[in-house]
Chains A and B, each alone.
Chain A
Amino acid sequence: MFAELRNLRQNVFTSKFIQVGRRLAQALPSVFGVILISFILTRALPGDPAVYFAGDMADKESIEQVRVALGLDRGWVEQFFIYVGNLANGDWGMSLSTGRPVTEELLDRLPASLELTLLGLGLAVLIAVPLGVLAATRPNSWLDHLCRLLVTAGVSLPTFFTGLFLVYIFYYLLGWSPSPLGRLDILYLSPPPVTGFYSLDSLLAGDQETFWASLAQLVLPAITLALFALAPIARMTRAAMLGALVSDFVRTARANGLSRSVVLSTYAFRNAALPVLTTLGMVFSFLLGANVLVEKVFSWPGIGSFAIEALVASDYAAVQGFVLAMALLFVCVNLAIDVILTLIDPRVGLD
């Protein structure tokens, strides 16, 4: 009996392992597709791409150099392989506006954007999931109506508008928040970089004052992002909970006399969590886009601001590097979510 159980466990473990491996392999076509589109975008420039990538100040010689470096003098297929090879070597081109490699520029700014995006997403989850659960357990209560209102209003709000509105209220009218310019007030020095997240780094350095200052800068942009992300998460949580609550297993659990909280948390919520987790991937993708707008509103020195500056300066290598980086990040996030789903869903791997 016990041996059998152990055997079953072993089987579940190996089959989960295979599932995760299969899922990792399934991500490869996405990565290929993303790189292909990114390749097409860098070659779709009207006129001669070499001229664009060399910049306005380039003479004939440097244009020729760029042409050879990008492989523009060869066939399409060969060009694609050169492009992939360059990417794999970390050569994503030079940013014309700053004169540094695009990868360096992106990596320097990525922590600022991630700190903001993750805090925004975390806030949204903390508010939206309980709201969705409560709305589903009390249909047609005021909470349910509030949830529905938030869901419809939330998807209609332009992020840049919400951000400006919050700035007007909390900076200009109430004076509660610091001026919406960057990650840290100029009075403070940035903490020694460890993670690149100012709030964490200042804590690690034991500098409470800087920690509060960086948090004060973070609050408004993070709330802006959270307001935007709230709607889809709350909508999905509510729908998934409603679905779980009318299911057979919840009825059985109730009929067996389990307490309300056990039924809700162990039976209903754990099943409802799976579609919510899937939605988080989509929400993250929206957030990466919204991030660009929020960074502009709050002069946040992240990769979004970098991309906007590059767009204005016609710095094509930088823009396409940004697009590619975001897409690869998104593929990784989706993959991570799928792996987590495979690991926590008891039904996966038992077949």
Chain B
Amino acid sequence: MGRHLKHFRYVMGENSVTVFAFSLFALIVFLAILGPWITPYDPLATNAANTLQPPSLRNFFGTDHLGRDVFSRVIAATRLDLGIAVSAVSISFVIGSALGCSAGFWGGWTDRIVGRFSDTIMAFPLFVLAMGIVAAMGNTVENIIYATAIINLPFYARVARAETSVRRGAGYVDAARLSGSGDVRILASQIFPNILPPMMVQVSLNMGWAILNAAGLSFIGLGVRPPEAEWGIMVAEGANYIVSGEWWLAIFPGAALMLAVFCFNLLGDGLRDLVDPLRRT
């Protein structure tokens, strides 16, 4: 463990961008957990006397068309956006690794079926497929999560399959088999822990994309319903006011979204450096 920590510190010292990404990540998680308690105003409280006010000391990010405080709403939305992305990514991680591991370990028909299944999903433009799934299953937040999970499945299945198939004949697998472990036990206790690092890189590279995807779906009016605070829907609500110059309605939630995605992408690159030093660019 100490060796890993040292390597972690080394990579961090090398790369100030990764330090920045990790701090931003900490801030986002902090806001997602504590968000609702630290907003200066109630994110849902309307105030007819104070609508469309530009940013000021009283309302850092201004107020929207119903007089709600944009700053409070942007912070409160962190939990929902991150929640959707984390749930979706966890589902694809669990199902994707199970499918990919079995495909890589057993090969043959399992491999062919899983491969064909991934290919078929990848044959769709993914955002469009997500729209179709939400339309078919019903317009709710849960279905946004399932749709995002389904379109991300192939990425996890592919990484897991590739990493498993190169380890299938490794010495420690043979050793485990000699000591009497069955296939499933070998997969769970020997192979899965070993493919975890590349899978984690995939998770953090994928997380940003999942956030973007979910926000895009709510931007076109799927899933999250107003007055709920969510970045995509806030940008959609603010879009009408852009042409008349009230930029703060859309720009601040959009910037928050961008920063979150940026953070996860940087984090993914940093994690990859940590896990796979050969692929550093």
Q: Which residues of A approach B to under 8 Å, CB–CB?
A: 29-30, 33-34, 36-38, 41-42, 44-46, 152-153, 155-161, 164-165, 167-168, 171-172, 179-180, 239, 285-286, 288-290, 292-293, 296-297, 307-308, 311-312, 316, 319-320, 322-323, 326-327, 330-331, 334
Contacts and interface: CB of A to CB of B under 8 A. Distances in A.
15 contacts: A33-B120, A37-B124, A42-B136, A46-B137, A152-B269, A160-B239, A168-B242, A285-B125, A286-B127, A293-B220, A296-B220, A311-B131, A312-B221, A327-B125, A330-B125
A41 B133 CA distance: 7
A152 B265 contact: yes
B96 interface: no
A43 to B, nearest CB: 8
Contacts of B209: 155
Contacts of A37: 120-121, 124, 129
Nearest to B250: A164
Contacts of B127: 286, 288-290, 292
Most chain A beta-carbon contacts within 10 A, residue among B139, B221, B243 = B243
Interface string B240-264: 0011110100110011011001100
A30 B265 CA distance: 31
A289 B126 contact: yes
B129 A327 contact: yes
Interface stretch (B40-48, B175-183, B211-219): B211-219
B266 interface: yes
Nearest 9 A-B pairs (CB), nearest first?
A289-B127, A33-B120, A161-B254, A323-B132, A156-B262, A288-B125, A156-B261, A41-B136, A319-B135
Interface residues of B, number: 51
Nearest to A303: B128
B142 to A, nearest CB: 12
Contacts of B83: none
Interface of B: 116, 119-121, 123-129, 131-139, 208-209, 212, 215-216, 219-222, 232, 235-236, 238-239, 242-245, 247, 250-251, 254-255, 257-258, 261-262, 265-266, 269, 281
A141 to B, nearest CB: 15
A34 B243 CA distance: 40
B257 A320 contact: no
A41 B266 CA distance: 36
B219 A296 contact: yes
Contacts of A161: 235, 250-251, 254-255, 257-258
A167 B242 contact: yes
B86 to A, nearest CB: 18
